[in-house]
Amino acid sequence: MNRWALLLGLCVALAGCGRGEDEIVASSVAHRFLTSVSNDNGDVACSLLSRETAAALAHDEREPCEETVRGLELNAPSAERVQVFGLSAKVDLADGLSVFLELTPEGWRVSAAGCEPVAGDQPYECEVEA
C-alpha cells in the first residue's frame, strides 16, 4: 500500500515539474522572439514562430517572414505571468501585452504576439497571429 502512495506522489511531483519546465521554456521562447524582433534579427524571430503564424505573416505582408518581422514594433519586456494549458501557453508581459504559444513537434513556438485584450467579441487583438 505504501509503495502505491509513494508512486502516486512521485507521479504528481513529476507532473508538476513538467508544467514548471514548460512555463520556463515558453517564457524563454517568447522573450527570445521579442528580443529578436527588437534587434531586427528576422531569421531567429521567424524560427520561433509556429509554421502557421510565419506563413500568415508572410502572406499578409507579401514579403518573406524574415523581412516582415523587421517592421514589427514589439519590445521585449519581462514576463509577469506564464500559464500553460496543455499544448498552449500564454505569457503576460510587464507592458500589458501577451504572447501566445503552442507546443509543436519542434518545441514551443509563438502563435500570436503583441496581443492586448479588447472589449467585444474578440478577446485579444494581436500584431502577429495566424
Q: Which of 107, 115, 120 is nearest to 34 (CA)?
A: 115
End-to-end CA distance of the chain: 50
Cell of 108: 514551443
**Coil, helix or strand for 100?**
strand
Return the CATH fold of 23-129: Nuclear Transport Factor 2; Chain: A, (3.10.450)
- Phi, psi (degrees; rounded to nearest 5) at 102: -135, 150
Cα–Cα distance, 79 to 28 (Å, whole number): 9
Residue that has been written with the C-alpha cell 522572439 in this structure: 33
- pTM (predicted TM-score): 0.83
Per-residue pLDDT of the chain (130 residues; tens, 9 = 90+): 444 333 333 333 444 445 889 999 999 999 999 999 999 999 999 999 999 999 999 998 899 999 999 889 899 999 999 999 999 999 999 999 999 999 999 999 999 999 999 887 668 999 999 9
